[in-house]
Amino acid sequence: MSWLSLLRGEAPPGPAPSPIGEAGGPREVEGAAPGAGLFFSSCLGRSDLAVLDLGPSSAMSFGIYRTMARRIRFADLFSDWGEEGWAEALRTVPRDPSRAVDRILAWDTLDRLSPEGRHRLIRILSQVAAPDARLHMVIRGSREAAPGALRFQLAGTDRMVYELGDKGAGGGLGPPLLPAELHTLLLPFQVENAFTLRGDLREYVAVWRGGD
Amino acid sequence: MWKKDEPEKVSPEPRPASPPPPGSRMDESRKPASPVEQAAIGRSIRIQGDVTGDEDLLIQGTIDGSVTLEAHALTVGPDGDVRADIRARVVTVQGRVKGNLNAEEQVILQASSRVQGDISAPRVVLEDGARFRGEIDMGDPDEGLSVRSEDGADEKGGPESSGPSKTSRAGVLAEGETASTATKRAPGDSGTASVKDRIPAKTGS
């Protein structure tokens, strides 16, 4: 493990992760999510945050967000709501700075977009993010990590449950996203921490540095 | 398997001015001393326009417009399909809603619900399995926010009262409790949040 990885807070490499949904493999995984732990530790003592979860609504996740936020949005980008596309779900997110978003959760989102879609999503997120907003992401470590869409829920502030779901609208996978490529893609969000999760997934915590 | 010859019993359509069945969720959320009047819009009814009223309402049909029951409870039943902004004291959704929900006390999205729109209420219950796309706004935390823990005890939240560092889904961690253990949810547990000062004691669930 390089010193640079240590500086970035990346976890040391563990045993070879097994893909989710592989024949004979698990369809649902629960495991530690140290990035989520760091992400939510930045919310301690807060009850006035605005949270944007790009995934489907979840009672488990809502139970955690509500302790720290007064505004919680589930964008449910890839479910079939009869809309024209995922970006439609973000159309109603206010661009007003007084209603900016403090915490963004993007689990299994960038993987499912085309390269153009990824840039478009980050552009939208940077427009709705508050200064010092934090972004928590989970991205596949490889193309083989999971054959379809993944559904994530929080099982605690530092644990996640993820299961293989139906493909759904926009359920296809884009080209693999390499770590170096991700750092560039996310600007003006800057990656502060990265971890490897069970099931060959990578977890990132980034901070909005648009005001620098 | 048993009593095959017996004709299947069909539940009658809910009738106007009848109280909710004992043990139902609406019954739990509101326990008045006298019987509650509840109107119903049946499955075959379609309304285009604004619905207003001064009694509780169950919607099993289709409404396109707006629904306003300022001081009363509205239930969108499993067969209800509402494309309207809704304003009521308590809103319970079991069916489909496309529109904004504004409740003076509480919004409950039950497991079978499918809601697209923004929710504004001091207290929101999102049951496991409910499908929701939109924003939940639970009001201004400066007005004495407290988060109700599942054992019913109210605990103060917010920066002033959160103690040295740790908070949990119930607001404040007990000594020696880690954030992850404190936020573990029981199976079937639904997310609930409340603003204590706005909720009358009778609405506790």
CB contact under 8 A, A37 and B180: yes
**B72 neighbors B55 (Cβ within 8 angstroms):** yes
Q: Of the candidates B182, B137, B155, B160, which has an alpha carbon nearest to the alpha carbon of residue A69?
A: B137
The beta-carbon neighbor of A70 closest among B116, B137, B163 is B137
Q: Say yes or no: B137 contacts chain A, CB-CB below 8 A.
A: yes
More confident residue, B161 or B50: B50
Pairwise CB contact (< 8 Å): A81 & B116 = yes
- Please state, for a pLDDT cut of 70, what percent of chain B lies above it: 50
Task: Write the pLDDT tens digit of every residue in B22-47.
Answer: 444 444 444 444 556 789 999 999 99
State what percent of residues in chain A have pLDDT above 90: 51
pLDDT-based confidence at residue A83 (cuts at 50, 70, 90): low
Q: Is the distance from CB of B71 to CB of B54 less than 8 angstroms?
A: yes
Which class for A179: exposed (0-12), middle (13-18), buried (19 or more C-beta within 10 A)? Answer: middle
Please write the tens of the pLDDT for every residue from A21-79.
555 556 778 889 999 999 999 999 999 999 999 999 999 999 999 999 999 999 999 88
| Contact state of A63 with B138 under an 8 Å Cβ cutoff | no
Residue B102 is predicted with a pLDDT of 97
Q: Any CB–CB contact under 8 A between A142 and chain B?
A: no
pLDDT at A146: 74
- Check if A154 contacts B (Cβ < 8 Å): yes
Fold of A33-208: Rossmann fold (3.40.50)
A-interface mutation test, from B115, B127, B183, most A Cβ less than 10 A away? B183
The pLDDT-based confidence of A96 (bands split at 50, 70, 90) is confident
Q: pLDDT tens digits for A193-212? A: 999 988 888 999 999 987 65
Which site among B136, B166, B173 would you substitute to test the A interface, given the most A Cβ atoms closer than 10 Å to its Cβ?
B136
Flag whether pLDDT at B21 surpasses 80.
no
High-pLDDT (> 90) share of chain B, %: 48
Of A47, A59, A156, Cβ closest to residue B158: A47
- The answer to whether residue B179 scores a pLDDT higher than 70 is no
d(CA B182, CA A59): 16
* pLDDT at res. A174: 82
pLDDT the model gives residue B182: 35
The verdict on B133 touching A (C-beta cutoff 8 Å) is yes
Task: Report pLDDT digits (tens) over A119-162.
Answer: 999 999 999 999 999 999 999 888 777 777 888 989 999 999 98
Question: What per-residue confidence (pLDDT) applies to B153?
Answer: 37
Q: What is the pLDDT of residue A7?
A: 47
In this prediction, residue B4 carries a pLDDT of 47
What is the chain B residue with the closest CA to A81? B116
Residue-level pLDDT at A162: 87
What is the rounded average pLDDT for all residues in chain B? 68
**Contact yes or no for B60/B16 (Cβ under 8 A):** no
Residue B93 has a pLDDT of 98
What chain B residue is nearest to A159 in terms of C-alpha separation?
Answer: B180
CB contact under 8 A, B158 and A59: no
Q: A54-68, B1-15, B158-172, B175-189 — which is least confidently predicted?
A: B158-172
- Cβ-defined contact of B184 to A79 (cutoff 8 Å): no
Tell me the per-residue pLDDT of B94-137, one tens digit each, with 9 for 90 and over: 999 999 999 999 999 999 999 999 999 999 999 999 999 999 99
Of the two residues A136 and A97, the one the predictor is more confident about is A136
Q: Are A2 and A187 in contact (CB under 8 A)?
A: no
Residues of A in contact with B97 (CB under 8 A): none
Going from the C-alpha of B39 to that of each of A106, B14, B42, B61, the distances in angstroms are 43, 8, 10, 12
pLDDT in tens, A126-136: 999 999 999 99
For residue B166, name the pLDDT band (cuts at 50, 70, 90).
Answer: very low
Q: Where are the domains of chain A?
A: 33-208
Q: Say what the pLDDT of residue B98 is.
A: 97
B138 Cβ under 8 Å from any chain A Cβ: yes
Name residue B171's amino acid: G
At residue B74 the predicted structure's pLDDT band, cuts being 50, 70 and 90, is: very high
For residue B179, which residues of chain A lie inside 8 Å, CB to CB? 37, 40-41, 156-158
Q: Tell me what pLDDT residue A21 has.
A: 59
Higher pLDDT, A1 or A102: A102
A37 and B CB contact within 8 Å? yes
First-to-last alpha carbon distance for chain B, in angstroms, is 38
| Better-scored residue on pLDDT, B171 or A31 | A31
d(CA B4, CA A138): 53
| Residue B85 pLDDT greater than 90, yes or no | yes
